[in-house]
């Protein structure tokens, strides 16, 4: 029962009880106000002229000023950063006059002089006569939030390794650049860079050394261009330089881009010191000029520069090439061929042709499986037209898997044929395939699935494998040879692997490259190299096969030098399966005089 409603209580006592209740309510309100005043937000209570009357502990923590230092002073006198302009001050005053409050982001100056961003809300307190009696300002320090936003922005738009703009930011700037060239009628240029032989360095010295090289490349690139140019890293060892404002004359723009390209080539070819490793590197650069023409889309500009870069690599590396209309045709053909390769995989349009390998008596002892693309419109396409593209796009992996499985199927089928059961079948293996972690499993799976005889399967590797992670290469080869598979070292003599590795490799055969055979027996150097390879193989207990034999005199010379086996158009061109079987069935047994 409410005592104040009890008529039995004396009026004086009732009045005293009422005052006690009011004091209790006031005390509770003051307690709540005190707690709110000492919140995590800084609080400033000021008079109508914004002169500070009181501040809380959070204010002191954020600004460095105590109650005693702040009282009697205007906030601007203590905290103004000079970073915000007069227009912002006018906006704040207008908001306080019109609606009695304002909120937004401004910059403050700490007692120690440092600047920091805050989010502030200023409220005018009015009395019953609608007169401003106080201003209450609350604010929070946004420094950590700003740092977090900057970190997120940096991660989204900058490469974490080199701190250069990434693909996303490059595309944004290139899009703005295209719009700018359209508006100003000034040309721009894109330089697409790829480091030469970076993968070899990465594989031999490790990814830490490779990463450090990429950082140093980024620094050198940035120092080679103007401050308003963009240097971006697309990923891996690919970089792009965007040049804008190159003038209204295309020739002048191309000359400027070329001068930048030459400066970059020279800069990047200088020696590097990465930890204990002295390193050298070079780059290939593709350049395209753009003007805001309707065909100058983001995609087209980057594709053109990319294609020009590949042309530079083909021209010998450590050089640059400009994109032209002829390259556009090449680009279109490349895109069409990539589509054809994918279609061929889906529709089983690949075929294996077989080129015979014969001994000194002319007996067919084996064959090399050679890939062909049976295009429905363009006819049979040889691998020299598409293997490079397959390696660039990664399609070499599914294509290589198809070849390996098809070859094993054929070996299994030949096992039941009296004239084919003793033939070996050589399959070319790319470095990309061989270095896959599951390569051994895929080879053994193909043999197991088809029941092919592993002793008849010969895998041909190139010398380039010998200087990339040699220990892993040897381990994989030893594992496969333990299952009966043999290895042939293809194009021997054209690479630069150390001969000290060769004696440790489980290789059964060396293959003399056709570039040496072509000049036999007239060229003394080719004769000397061929003789050296044959002698080396004999000393290591290996057999030798020469490829690309087209003339009887070439064959005679190699027989005299004790070469074991031969392959080339002198004996047979690569044949479809049915023709190859017919050829083997009719092959003669004397190599002398065979033409």
30 CB-contact burial (10 Å; exposed 0-12 / middle 13-18 / buried 19+): exposed
Both 382 and 297 in one domain: the answer is no
Domain tally for the chain?
Answer: 3
Kindly give, in sequence order, each residue whose CB lies less than 8 Å from that of residue 311, ignoring residues fewer than 6 positions away: 286, 321, 327
Query: What tokens were used for 368?
Result: 């090399």
Say if 250 falls within a structural domain: yes
Provide, for the chain, the percentages of residues in helix, strand and coil under a 3-state DSSP scheme, each rounded to the nearest 5: 50, 25, 30
Please give the Cα distance from 325 to 98 (Å, whole number).
64
Q: What is the pLDDT of residue 438?
A: 94
Both 97 and 196 in one domain: the answer is no
Q: What is the pLDDT of residue 38?
A: 63
Cβ(520)–Cβ(557) below 8 Å? yes
The CATH number of the domain holding residue 370 is 3.20.20.450
126 - beta bridge partners?
A: 132
DSSP string, 384-428: GGTHHHHHHHTTHHHHHHHHHHHHHHHHHHHTTSTTTTT-EEEEE
The CATH number of the domain holding residue 243 is 3.30.70.270
Say if 256 falls within a structural domain: yes
Say if 592 falls within a structural domain: no
Both 297 and 268 in one domain: the answer is yes
Please give the Cα distance from 487 to 477 (Å, whole number).
8
Please give the Cα distance from 558 to 461 (Å, whole number).
22
Both 125 and 183 in one domain: the answer is no
Query: What tokens were used for 288?
Result: 């395209």
Residue with tokens 């207008």: 94
The CATH number of the domain holding residue 97 is 3.30.450.20
Residue with tokens 């490793």: 277
DSSP string, 13-73: HHHHHHHHHHHHHHHHHHHHHHHHHTSSSEEEEE-TT--EEEE-HHHHHHHS--HHHHTTS
The CA–CA distances, whole Å, from 26 to 21, 23, 128, 562 equal 9, 5, 20, 114
Query: What tokens were used for 476?
Result: 């994989």
Query: What tokens were used for 291?
Result: 């003007």
Say if 222 falls within a structural domain: yes
The CA–CA distances, whole Å, from 84 to 65, 363, 398, 492, 560 equal 21, 91, 61, 72, 91
Q: What is the pLDDT of residue 493?
A: 63
Pairing, β 457-462 against β 424-428? parallel
Both 182 and 251 in one domain: the answer is yes
Kindly give, in sequence order, each residue whose CB lies less than 8 Å from that of residue 144, ignoring residues fewer than 6 positions away: none
Strand ranges, E, within 283-435: 283-290, 320-322, 350-359, 364-375, 379-381, 424-428
Please give the Cα distance from 580 to 586 (Å, whole number).
10
Q: Assess whether the previous peptide bond of 521 is cis (omega < 30° from 0).
A: yes
Say if 498 falls within a structural domain: yes
Say if 394 falls within a structural domain: yes
Query: What tokens were used for 200?
Result: 């070899």
Q: What is the pLDDT of residue 595?
A: 28
Q: Which domain holds residue 297?
A: 158-323
Please give the Cα distance from 455 to 407 (Å, whole number).
13
Say if 178 falls within a structural domain: yes
User: 5 by DSSP, 3-state: which?
Assistant: helix
Please give the Cα distance from 208 to 180 (Å, whole number).
40
Both 278 and 417 in one domain: the answer is no
Both 113 and 198 in one domain: the answer is no
Which among 258, 249, 218 is positioned nearest to 236, based on CA atoms?
Answer: 218
Say if 543 falls within a structural domain: yes
Cα of first residue to Cα of last residue in the chain, in angstroms, is 127
Please give the Cα distance from 558 to 565 (Å, whole number).
9
Both 292 and 386 in one domain: the answer is no
Both 164 and 136 in one domain: the answer is no
The CA–CA distances, whole Å, from 469 to 435, 476, 493, 500, 501 equal 9, 11, 20, 15, 11
* 533-509-511-402 Cα dihedral, nearest 10 degrees: -160
Cβ(567)–Cβ(366) below 8 Å? no
CA–centroid distance for 185 within its chain:
33
Q: What is the pLDDT of residue 168?
A: 92
Output DSSP code: residue 459. Answer: E
Q: What is the pLDDT of residue 588?
A: 44
Sign of CA dihedral 481, 487, 493, 496: negative
User: What tens-digit pLDDT sequence spans the chain (595 residues)?
Assistant: 454 455 555 555 545 545 555 555 555 555 445 555 566 788 988 898 889 998 888 899 899 999 899 999 998 888 887 777 778 888 888 888 888 889 988 898 999 999 999 999 999 988 888 888 888 899 989 888 888 778 877 788 899 899 999 999 999 999 999 988 888 889 999 999 999 888 888 877 888 999 999 999 999 999 999 989 999 999 899 999 999 999 888 888 888 999 999 999 999 999 999 888 888 889 999 999 998 776 788 888 999 999 899 889 888 888 899 987 676 677 678 888 999 999 999 999 999 999 999 999 989 999 999 999 999 998 999 999 999 889 888 999 999 999 999 999 999 999 988 889 999 999 999 988 999 999 999 999 999 999 999 999 999 998 777 666 788 889 999 999 999 999 999 877 665 555 667 778 899 999 998 888 998 898 888 899 889 889 888 888 999 999 999 999 999 999 999 998 999 999 999 999 999 998 998 764 443 432 2
Query: What tokens were used for 427?
Result: 């399959």
Residue with tokens 């309707």: 294
Both 210 and 174 in one domain: the answer is yes
* 561-565-566-572 Cα dihedral, nearest 10 degrees: 150
243 - beta bridge partners?
A: 189
Both 177 and 52 in one domain: the answer is no
H-only helix segments in 100-206: 143-157, 167-184, 198-205
Cβ(468)–Cβ(201) below 8 Å? no
pTM above 0.85, yes or no: no
Both 94 and 192 in one domain: the answer is no
């Amino acid at each position: 029962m409410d005592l104040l409603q009890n008529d039995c209580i004396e009026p004086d006592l009732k009045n005293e009880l009422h005052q006690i209740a009011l004091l209790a309510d006031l005390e509770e309100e003051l307690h709540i106000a005190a707690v709110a005043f000492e919140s995590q937000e800084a609080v400033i209570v000021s008079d109508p002229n914004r002169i500070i009357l009181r501040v809380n502990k959070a204010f002191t923590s954020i600004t460095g000023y105590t109650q005693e230092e702040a009282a009697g002073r205007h906030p601007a006198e203590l905290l103004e950063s000079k970073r915000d302009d007069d227009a912002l001050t006018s906006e704040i005053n207008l908001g306080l006059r019109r609606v009695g409050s304002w909120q937004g982001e401004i910059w403050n100056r700490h007692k120690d002089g440092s600047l920091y961003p805050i989010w502030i809300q200023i409220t005018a307190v009015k009395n019953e006569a609608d007169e401003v009696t106080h201003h209450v300002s609350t604010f929070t320090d946004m420094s950590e939030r700003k740092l977090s936003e900057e970190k997120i922005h940096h991660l989204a738009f900058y490469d974490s390794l080199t701190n250069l703009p990434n693909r996303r930011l490059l595309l944004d700037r290139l899009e703005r650049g295209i719009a700018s060239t359209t508006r100003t009628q000034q040309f721009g240029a894109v330089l697409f860079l790829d480091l030469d032989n970076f993968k070899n360095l990465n594989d031999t010295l490790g990814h830490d050394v490779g990463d450090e090289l990429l950082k140093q490349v980024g620094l050198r690139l940035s120092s080679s261009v103007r401050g308003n140019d963009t240097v971006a890293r697309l990923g891996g060892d690919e970089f792009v330089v965007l040049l804008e404002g190159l003038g209204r004359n295309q020739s002048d723009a191309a000359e400027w881009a070329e001068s930048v390209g030459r400066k970059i080539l020279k800069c990047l070819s200088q020696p590097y010191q990465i930890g204990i490793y002295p390193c050298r590197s070079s780059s290939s650069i593709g350049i395209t000029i753009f003007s805001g023409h309707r065909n100058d889309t983001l995609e087209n500009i980057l594709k053109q520069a990319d294609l020009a870069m590949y042309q530079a690599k083909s021209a010998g590396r450590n050089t640059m090439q400009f994109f032209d209309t002829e390259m556009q045709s090449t680009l279109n053909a490349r895109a069409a061929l990539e589509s054809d390769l994918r279609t061929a995989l889906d529709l089983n349009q690949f075929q294996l042709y077989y080129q015979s390998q014969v001994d000194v008596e002319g007996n067919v002892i084996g064959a090399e499986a050679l890939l062909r693309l049976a295009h429905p419109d363009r006819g049979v396409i040889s691998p020299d037209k598409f293997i490079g593209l397959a390696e660039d796009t990664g399609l070499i992996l599914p294509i290589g898997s198809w070849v390996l499985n098809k070859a094993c199927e054929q070996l299994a089928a030949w096992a039941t044929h009296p004239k084919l059961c003793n033939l070996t079948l050589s399959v070319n293996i790319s470095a990309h395939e061989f270095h896959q972690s599951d390569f051994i499993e895929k080879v053994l799976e193909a043999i197991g699935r088809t029941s092919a005889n592993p002793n008849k399967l010969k895998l041909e590797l190139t010398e380039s494998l010998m200087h990339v992670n040699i220990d892993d290469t040897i381990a994989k080869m030893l594992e496969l040879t333990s299952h009966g598979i043999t290895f042939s070292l293809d194009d021997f003599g054209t690479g630069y692997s150390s001969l000290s590795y060769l004696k440790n490799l489980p290789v059964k055969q060396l293959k003399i490259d056709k570039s040496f055979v072509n000049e036999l027996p007239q060229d003394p150097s080719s004769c000397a190299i061929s003789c050296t390879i044959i002698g080396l193989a004999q000393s290591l207990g290996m057999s030798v096969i020469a490829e690309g034999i087209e003339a009887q005199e070439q064959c005679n010379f190699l027989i005299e030098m004790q070469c074991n086996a031969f392959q080339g158009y002198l004996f047979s061109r690569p044949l479809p399966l049915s023709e190859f079987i017919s050829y083997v069935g009719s092959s003669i047994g004397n190599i002398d005089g065979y033409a």
